[in-house]
Structure 1
Amino acid sequence: MGENGLMDFLSEYIRGLFTLSGLVGVIALIVALASFQQNVPKKMVIYQLIANSLFVVHFFMLGAKVGAAINLMSAVRSLIYAQTDKKWAGHPAWTVVFVVISILIAVFLWEGWLSLLPVLGALCYTLSFRMKTSKMVRLVSLPSSPCWIVYNAIKGSIPGIITELYVIISILVGMLRFDRKKYKERA
């Protein structure tokens, strides 16, 4: 990419931030980042619910139907998983429900092969919620972010890209801090 290419990219990026969809995306990004700083799981899930809801609006405004629908499903998933004190919310059938909904979103809102990326990302996150250890949650959810990064790049969601880069870094730091430490202790 030459100097003009870089300048064109930066110009387009800055212009995108000042659109309404860009503004909603930046607010969603801030709320998503704040969710990772919560120490109470229920608070974390509520922040995720808000971030997902904002990303629904953001993707809808970008014309990214699958991204909007997957984030709507993720918001509902967060709402249900926030009910950790209720037995029904922890039922394993929810995993099947959200997997089926993800697949149906791809089928009914098909935008070509690109549609598979957010669906695969959602499947990783949905399955990660059923893992018994933090290590497995991190491992199973990690592939979600590269799927979303590609989708976000093609759909023009800079806040989405930044959010997923933060998620990757956060997961990798968690792996280094906790998982590697446990591995060394066993060796």
Structure 2
Amino acid sequence: MNGLLPEWDLAQAVGMFGFAIGTTAFLHRDGQRFRLHLMIFQFIMCGHFVMMDAMVAAFGSGISAIRSYSSTKTQSTGVMVFFIVMIWGMGLPQLDYLYELLPIIGSTVATLALFKFQGLPMRLLMLVSSCCWVINNLLMGSIGATLMEVIFIFVNLSTILRLYFAQSTSRA
């Protein structure tokens, strides 16, 4: 790291590419499209985190990518638990810093959201997950991943508001 900003290198470039891909994921109102778009973003970010030697985040992203795809095919509690066990089982042994628990927690919350919730509740849990990830990404110095999670937070908040008002007007 040079000064206050992380050094620009291939890992940061891959993170920025992931940022470009991920910026539209939360715009999908359709849950299936949302999950598939999220999967592509997560695979790219897995590579980014490997390049940054952030293995807890890399495992979290890689497992989350497979989880996002799986959640388009099944809402099985057993499959959900399998992914949560994988996230914790592969992440905990890699911990170097306490803040690295945040991607594990964030990935767990997102797994619960994608397997057991739809619509507004799913988006609210995804918001909690993004908050965990943005703090982790800031602390590890990932420019693209930090920007992505900040965008996820704002776009997801916008989608949450749209879904909320759509529900309110359909009840009226």
Using structure 1 for the length normalisation, give the TM-score: 0.79
For residues 128-176 of structure 1, the C-alpha deviation after alignment (integer angstroms, 9 at most, x for no partner) is 1134441111222211112111110111111111111111112211222
One-letter amino acid of the counterpart of residue 166, structure 1: I
Q: Is contact 2:27–2:159 with CA below 8 Å preserved after alignment? A: no
Identity %: 25
Equivalent of residue 91 in structure 2, options 106, 123, 126? 106
TM-superposed deviation, 1:177? 2.1
| Long gaps (5+) in structure 1 | 1-7
Q: What is the alpha-carbon root mean square deviation over aligned residues?
A: 2.5
Is 1:64 aligned with 2:49? no
Find out whether 1:54 has 2:44 as its counterpart.
yes
Shift of 1:178: 2.3
Higher Cα Rg: structure 1 or 2?
Answer: 1
1:156-171 aligned within 5 A = 156-171=141-156
Structure 2: gaps of 5 or more residues: none
Q: TM-score, normalised by structure 2?
A: 0.85
CA distance 1:110–1:130, shift in 2 (3 Å): same
**Bigger mean CA offset, 33-42 vs 89-98:** 33-42
Indicate which of 120, 133, 146 corresponds to 1:148.
133
| Residue equivalent to 2:101 | 116
**Contact 1:32-1:47 at 8 Å conserved across structures:** yes
Deviation for aligned residue 1:37: 4.2
| CA distance in 1 between partners of 2:156 and 2:86 (Å) | 26
In structure 1, how many angstroms separate the alpha carbons of the residues matched to 2:36 and 2:171?
36
Q: Distance in 2 between matches of 1:183 and 1:40?
A: 18
Deviation for aligned residue 1:38? 4.8
8 Å Cα contact 2:27-2:156 kept in structure 1: no
Deviations 1:36-64, CA, capped at 9 Å, x for gaps = 34566544433322211111111111111
Partner residue, 1:81:
71
Higher relative contact order (CA 8 A, sep 6+): 2
